[in-house]
Structure 1
Amino acid sequence: MAEDNAPVDYSLSNPDVLTKYKTAAQISQKVLETVSTWCVEGATILEVCQRGDKLLEDEIAKVYKGKKISKGISNPCTISPSTFVTPYTPLVSDAEEAAVTLKANEPVKIQLGAQIDGFGTVVCDTVLAKPKSDGEVTVSGRAADLILATHWANELMLRLMLPPGLLTTGSEEEQKKARGVRPYTQSKISQLLEKVAKSYECNLVENTTCWLFDRNDIESKKKIILAPGDGAKGEGLPEVGEVWGVEIGVSTGTGKVKTLPNRATLHRRTATTYGLKRPSSRATLSEIQKRFGTFPFSLRQMEDERAGKIGIVECVRGGVVRQYEVLGSTDGEPVARLHTTIAITKNGLQRLAAPPSTDLEKVKSDKKITDEEILKILELPLAKPSSAKPKNKKKKKKPAKKAAVAKPEEDDEDEDSDDDSDDE
């Protein structure tokens, strides 16, 4: 009986937890890849978001069938146009915004995510909306500067997330010394990333935030704020056993942001309790709790969008629901954004849900990173090299007689490529 009452381990040390994160991540990445192909000149943002949500729901329904665990969307499909900074998802009932289409070659931010048993992953990529006519494959000019600045800032940030000494090899004394090195402060992290952005004559987007993830929470107790403004301050640094949402935002302009006049349509349930007075507000909150839990959702996903627009007002005012304002660049300059969900284990960093790798051969810029400190960090691995030994474990199940004779050379005999191993 004591075992039945034992608390469930929701940490990464529980293999089931990591499996659920990975399952959610695979869905997120698969849907992101498909949605990217829909971002073409003339495509309606609303329609792409709707199709993205439908695809997420379809893929989520295929896993953990018949299991009594929650699963769903951890971040609805959002499509942010060129100058938009934050995730954007228009409503069907807002005719003007529902008609907005994508322009050829504009940098479009696609963000979405899935969750299994409360273990959510979020991924974001920036793609250039494809023109109707066949455009040139190679990206150049300021678009290339923006893409490369964002790519390398993201690669640097992932390496800065590693706790000191985690991947150090050598003697016990050397490892101890490496672990004793002070981790990068949030201020230093911003400084290094700003150097990368400025190498391409770009700037970090102010107040870009990386969050610690927990079960049912993609904005937990720790956060790292990049290029903080208006007194914003992060709290805490990454540690082994944690899952983080790592975000990078870069602009060809100043990186300063402003609130846009567009309706805030993305919301999230908070831990605050408040006695809602209006029946419409209580009905809205009840639907939110049942369908979305504490993960972000769009009013577009409500059963009755118009009723949701009315009911959400008091929920936001009472603090039981958080409203995500729509932000954009103050100078109207293009913005690129990437978001990667990572796990930090004793063997290093795992990209759980990540945007596709940038094809650097197709992005041409006359600018490059020259800072030696940054180049040195970028050369560092993200994880310890995996061992190839486990590969032949299953093949050791042989008749006892044969095993007794051939035991010392068993692994060599199992592989065709090692037929000449006797020469050793």
Structure 2
Amino acid sequence: MSDEKETDYSLANPDTLTKYRVAAGISEKVLAAVSKLCVAGEKVVTICQKGDKLIEEELAKVYRGKTVKGFSHPTTVSPASYVTPYTPLASDAAEANIELQAGEPVKVQLGAQIDGFGSIVCDTVLVQPKDQTEDVVTGRTADLILATYYANELLLRLMIPPGLLSSGSDEEKAKAAAVKPPTQTKITSLLDKVAKSYECNLVESTTSWVFERNEIEGKKKIVIAPAEGTKGEGTPEIGEVWGVEMGISLGSGKVKAIDQRATLLRRTTNTYILKSQTARKTLSTVQNKFGHFPFSLRQLEEEGGDTKYKVGVYEGVRQGVLRQYELVGDKDAAPVARLLTTLAITKNGISKLGAPPALDLSKFQSDKKITDEEILKILEQPLSKNKSKSKNKKKKKPAKKAAKAGDDDDEEESDDE
């Protein structure tokens, strides 16, 4: 019997958190760079290609030994009404010519992984006209962005286990910890009130997953505004990493399939010996380069240089060893905004491992605001215990006050372990 201990891949191992943070740093850096590429007239496929190249370049700078590293999600740029990540093919003339339109909210999603510890981030970027500075955003676009921002801030706080950040006597802390976590029905109800405050709607079946090593869809999930036949499972706990997603629509929030080929796939845990040599070669390429993380057919095009991989993908999907993500959009073709944050739940609260950049609330003006006192009270709560001893740190406006005002400064962002 071997005396070797099994490697601890939990957050109790500092090395695990370090790898998550390195992956998150890459994800956030590339997200910022790709967001700047989102200007009117730019082709979506070109932006995706540049984003993937940047991820590879950044990965090459870290962990230069035998540590496995790569994509946790390819670069995707989803047009205004698209709900799911979109990654077009360079070989498809129609898809390759899709250009961004000025003013549309596009969703940029991507991620990196180190040793199977992945960080995925998504931000909604308003496409700017070429050679034009940003103006203050008003009207329905401002409503959409603000609704998504505050709904996301609320959801992050609802992820905190009850009593984790409570203060006072031991009796008061125990009482706070004894409170049951909000049900998924309650979570949807509270988030729906935020969306309705801005005359928007939650995107149907927006799902947050617990992340595990080499797995971005673990056993636990939170499903917001679930469609018929879908439901969440489990509650967030200390020691877990989650990919927390928020989706808001200017339409009904209901979704429909988009009549376009699915180009985003991932390797499943199913095993099956594929019959054709081409299929086996394709599966081997997927396994070696992407593991069980999502990848784009475009990446296989660039890897293989021919179209034989398509046969392999078809057989892989048919036999269940590959899963394809169908394209879904807003049923009313209305603009949709999405955010995705990778976070860790520690004894000190929420630690953002990878997140979209903080929203500059001064650039968005709306005549609508949140008035529900229960929601405003939750928004006022911190994400983690404040361990900073600096007295010179600028005091930032609480989310509650910002939500009431509908503008001004951004609230504090915690990065506390």
TM-score for the superposition, normalised by structure 2: 0.91
Residues 219-271 of structure 1 deviation map (CA, whole Å, 9 limit, x = unaligned):
11111111000210111110000000000000000001111011101001111
Q: Displacement of 1:388 after TM fit?
A: 2.9
Quote the Cα distance in structure 1 between the aligned partners of 2:168 and 2:238. 20
Amino acid at match of 2:86: Y
- Does the 8 A contact of 1:197 with 1:203 survive in 2? yes
Q: Displacement of 1:133 after TM fit?
A: 4.6
Question: Match of 1:114?
Answer: 112
Question: Match of 1:39?
Answer: 38
1:238 and 2:236 correspond: yes
Question: Match of 1:360?
Answer: 361
Question: Match of 1:394?
Answer: none
Question: Match of 2:188?
Answer: 190
Question: Match of 1:396?
Answer: none
Alignment of 1:14-413 (within 5 A): 14-65=13-64, 67-134=65-132, 137-302=135-300, 303-304=303-304, 306-388=307-389
Quote the Cα distance in structure 2 between the aligned partners of 1:382 and 1:365. 26
Quote the Cα distance in structure 1 between the aligned partners of 2:96 and 2:32. 23
Amino acid at match of 2:17: L
- Does the 8 A contact of 1:82 with 1:107 survive in 2? yes
Q: Displacement of 1:69 after TM fit?
A: 1.1
Amino acid at match of 2:363: K
SS where residue 24 of structure 2 aligns? helix
Larger Rg: 1
Amino acid at match of 1:187: T
Structure 1: runs of 5 or more not aligned = 390-424
Quote the Cα distance in structure 2 between the aligned partners of 1:364 and 1:149. 12
Greater shift, 164-173 or 302-311, is seen at: 302-311
Q: Displacement of 1:43 after TM fit?
A: 0.3
Amino acid at match of 2:272: Y
Quote the Cα distance in structure 2 between the aligned partners of 1:369 and 1:231. 31
SS where residue 307 of structure 2 aligns? helix
Quote the Cα distance in structure 2 between the aligned partners of 1:133 and 1:119. 39
Q: Displacement of 1:135 after TM fit?
A: 5.3
Q: Displacement of 1:287 after TM fit?
A: 0.8
Greater shift, 303-312 or 366-375, is seen at: 303-312
- Does the 8 A contact of 2:274 with 2:315 survive in 1? yes
Question: Match of 1:13?
Answer: 12
Quote the Cα distance in structure 1 between the aligned partners of 2:205 and 2:282. 30
Amino acid at match of 2:355: A
Amino acid at match of 1:309: K
- Does the 8 A contact of 2:77 with 2:106 survive in 1? yes
- Does the 8 A contact of 1:93 with 1:306 survive in 2? no
Residues 51-91 of structure 1 deviation map (CA, whole Å, 9 limit, x = unaligned):
000000000110011x2210011100000000000000001
- Does the 8 A contact of 2:128 with 2:134 survive in 1? no
Q: Displacement of 1:276 after TM fit?
A: 1.4
Q: Displacement of 1:136 after TM fit?
A: 5.1
Quote the Cα distance in structure 1 between the aligned partners of 2:272 and 2:56. 31
Q: Displacement of 1:273 after TM fit?
A: 1.1
Quote the Cα distance in structure 2 between the aligned partners of 1:104 and 1:144. 15
Residues 196-215 of structure 1 deviation map (CA, whole Å, 9 limit, x = unaligned):
00100000100110000000
Quote the Cα distance in structure 1 between the aligned partners of 2:272 and 2:225. 34
Structure 2: runs of 5 or more not aligned = 391-417
